[in-house]
Amino acid sequence: MAEEKYKIVVFGAFGAGKSTLIQTLDPQAKHIEAGCTGGTTTIALDYGRVQIGDKRVYLYGTPGQERFEFAREIIGKGMDGAILLVDATSPVDEFVEHLSTSIVAARIPYVVVLNRCDAVGARPDATKAHFNGAAIKTVSAKDRRGARVALEEFITTLRPHNGDKTA
């Protein structure tokens, strides 16, 4: 049987744990940072691969900051699913609400992953209330087993990449 491919993009605010999650899921993941000419702005991308049975999952982490909207759009092209990674130790802010609204509007299958649930001060139940109707998982991006289970469960709900999507 042919191997199935999935492109998954991890969205979330700066510091939510996107790089950590991708690194935990794939210890060989790449973290790329580039500075923009003439400025102090850097743009970053995380890229990892995970094999789940005969499913090959390509993970992309996007910049969190608002000014990188265009980068999120480019990285998100043709994705099969989205992970909205949310820090459960801090209140859900407008930016996270914006990401959530954008993912829903784009009709991409997604899961809300509440991160830092290992940390003192994590309030996953209070955070969950913001994402009514969405599939929700609670993890620590530093815990490989939990992160992998969350990814596997999400992948089983998706259809694989058909290679000619434009959205």
Ligand X SMILES: Nc1nc2c(ncn2[C@@H]2O[C@H](COP(=O)(O)OP(=O)(O)O)[C@@H](O)[C@H]2O)c(=O)[nH]1
- Positions touching Mg ion (CB under 5 A) are 18-19
d(CA 85, CA 90): 12
Please, what is the minimum distance in Å from the beta carbon of residue 87 to ligand X? 8
| CB within 8 Å of 118: residues ≥ 6 apart | 140, 142, 143
CB of 46 to ligand X, least distance (A): 7
* Residues of this chain, 101-160, that bind ligand X according to CB under 6 A: 115-116, 118-119, 140-142
Residue 105 CB, nearest approach to ligand X (Å): 22
Which partner from the list Mg ion, ligand X, none does 20 bind, CB cut-off 5 to 8 Å by kind?
ligand X
Q: How far is the CB of 58 from ligand X (least distance, A)?
A: 17
Which stretch in 15-23, 69-77, 101-109, 159-167 sits in contact with ligand X by CB under 6 A? 15-23
DSSP-derived 3-state class of residue 69: helix
Q: Which of 139, 83, 142, 146 is nearest to 115 (CA)?
A: 139
- For 23-128, strand residue ranges (E) read 30-35, 42-52, 55-61, 81-87, 110-115
Sole binder of ligand X in the list 7, 17, 82, 83 (CB under 6 A):
17
Residue 141 contact among Mg ion, ligand X, none, beta carbon within 5 to 8 Å by kind: ligand X
- Residue 16 binds ligand X (CB under 6 A): yes
Residue from 3, 14, 98, 106 touching ligand X (CB under 6 A): that is 14
Task: Identify residues 42-71 at the interface with ligand X (CB under 6 A).
Answer: 64
Q: CA torsion 133→156→60→100, rounded to 10°?
A: -10
Which positions touch ligand X (CB under 6 A)?
Answer: 12, 14-20, 64, 115-116, 118-119, 140-142
